[in-house]
Structure 1
């Protein structure tokens, strides 16, 4: 954990990023860099073992690694300290893009059930970390910060692996994705229409970006409410298209 000039603890990634000092705001945490290097090596070993049989799984793993690097090493991490709207984008990328890429890229034995449990746990964790008190705690202590990130990611991977295991059950997939998109939209609406700023860590860091704390919060809510549901709707479209293709192949045989 770093300390600011006034002696107070700063969020992971350091002080809130400012437009005039954005480029130097890279995260050089040696433990994080070492972990990413270990994961890169492990992914490379897995890719070699799979060979040409991997299909799109190796590119999916690479995409997940690059997204993790972007979220936690580049200045996006410090921007998420400054702006709750950037934090909302970061969390959506984590659970709705990185998590499914990782779930698909890892391959292996798929879950045979538990889609309902995975959906509920993942949703509860997402809502929990976006409540003001847990969110403030996460930005005040590095251990709590990583607990937030890892529980969001692992529950997201569980959710997507359970969903992929039921991919041919279009009704189950459609119901799950529609429900998850709806709860994401509801959370976004509650945040967007809150009459007062809810997230104290961003109270003093949004003005340099031309936003009040309330405007930044409203923008974050809109991001969750509208763009935030798109990955789930895209996944629904892919599931339906896959089912239609399988139906056509079945009729052709």
Structure 2
């Protein structure tokens, strides 16, 4: 695979053409339209969360962010952060599927961590962008494991302390991965080598920016969720007046 070409999102976006690079894949648009119909029909537990998730899915898959993520590893990491830390919890709120038993939280946290680390290993990352099938396997496993994680965290019977520990563990493993990427002495993600210069970055600078995003920015949704869970628990424990 040429270093400047990603199988699904196409050639790397440049500053000159980026805003013209919208993804109009008919199958993708049909899937998003089907999701919109499900939300509009009232079959989601939280319609507002469902619509927000749908809007963000348009951002990561349809908007020029798709083409930008072909050019920059930092854009791809931003895509992944939005997918697993924002879209996934919104989908977990919109579609908790309460009739399906939730698996134990510890294995879910571990499985999600393994999936995140595997897809950001340089070789598997490059393979995940080499074909359309591999690209969607990457997206499905990242989103699916994150949805299971957030669904278990939000489950009504899960203890507050257990949910908070799951969030802390997830922040910790993503921060460690981000730190390893930041402090790598050489660029690792060869698929982006030919396209970073157009954006005024070296491959190593792009990689370091991506690591910082995963290390720092990615923790914000998890911290926000933890504060919300803790606050909700305290309010539930307040005696009625």
In the superposition, the TM-score normalised over structure 2's length comes to 0.94
Residue 167 of structure 1, CA deviation: 6.6
Give the stretch that moved more between structures: 163-172 or 22-31. 163-172
Structure showing greater Rg: 1
Q: What is the CA-CA distance between 1:140 and the residue it aligns to?
A: 1.1
Q: Give, in whole Å, the separation in 2 of the partners of 1:168 and 1:127.
A: 26
Q: In structure 2, do the counterparts of structure 1 residues 232 and 9 end up closer, same or farther at CA, with 3 Å as the change threshold?
A: closer
Partner Cα distance (1:18, 1:11) in 2: 17
**In structure 1, how many angstroms separate the alpha carbons of the residues matched to 2:191 and 2:9?**
13
1:166, distance to aligned residue in structure 2 (A): 5.5
Please give the alpha-carbon distance, in whole angstroms, between the structure 2 residues aligned to 1:169 and 1:90. Answer: 31
Structure 1 position 187, deviation (Å): 0.2
Residue 41 of structure 1, CA deviation: 1.4
1:70-126 per-position Cα deviation (integer Å, ceiling 9, x unaligned): 100110000011000011111011000000000111134164541111111111101
Contact 2:7 2:130 in 1 (8 A): yes
Structure 2 regions of 5+ residues with no counterpart? none
User: What displacement does 1:9 show?
Assistant: 6.1
Answer whether contact 1:167 1:173 (CA < 8 A) is retained.
no
Correspondent of 2:211 among 211, 221, 246: 221
Q: 2:189 aligns with which of 199, 202, 206?
A: 199
Give the corresponding residue for 2:153.
163
CA contact (8 A) 1:138 1:144 kept: yes
Local SS of the residue matching 1:96: helix
Deviations 1:193-224 (A, max 9, x none): 00111001100101010100000000000000
CA 240–252 in structure 1, closer or farther in 2 if over 3 Å, else same: same
Alignment coverage as a number of residue pairs: 240
Equivalent of residue 67 in structure 1, options 56, 76, 85: 56
Aligned counterpart in structure 2 of residue 19 of structure 1, from 4, 15, 20 = 15
RMSD: 1.9
Matches of 1:188 and 1:223, distance apart in 2: 7
The verdict on how the C-alpha distance between 1:244 and 1:41 changes in structure 2, with shifts beyond 3 A counting, is same
Unmatched segments (≥5 aa) in structure 1:
none
Q: Distance in 2 between matches of 1:134 and 1:108?
A: 31
* 1:139 equivalent in structure 2: 129
| 2:36 equivalent in structure 1 | 40
Q: SS of 1:26's equivalent?
A: coil
Which position in structure 2 is the counterpart of 1:252? 240
CA contact 1:79–1:86 (8 Å) conserved in 2: yes
Q: Which position in structure 2 is the counterpart of 1:97?
A: 86
Q: Distance in 1 between matches of 2:165 and 2:208?
A: 28
- The TM-score normalised by the length of structure 1 is 0.90
- 1:168 Cα deviation (Å)? 5.6
Residues 113 and 165 in structure 1, CA contact (< 8 A), matched pair in contact too? no
Structure 1 residues 159 and 168: alpha-carbon distance in aligned structure 2, compared to 1, 3 A threshold: closer
- 2:111 counterpart (117, 121, 139): 121
- Counterpart for residue 225 of structure 2: 235
Other-structure match for 2:202: 212
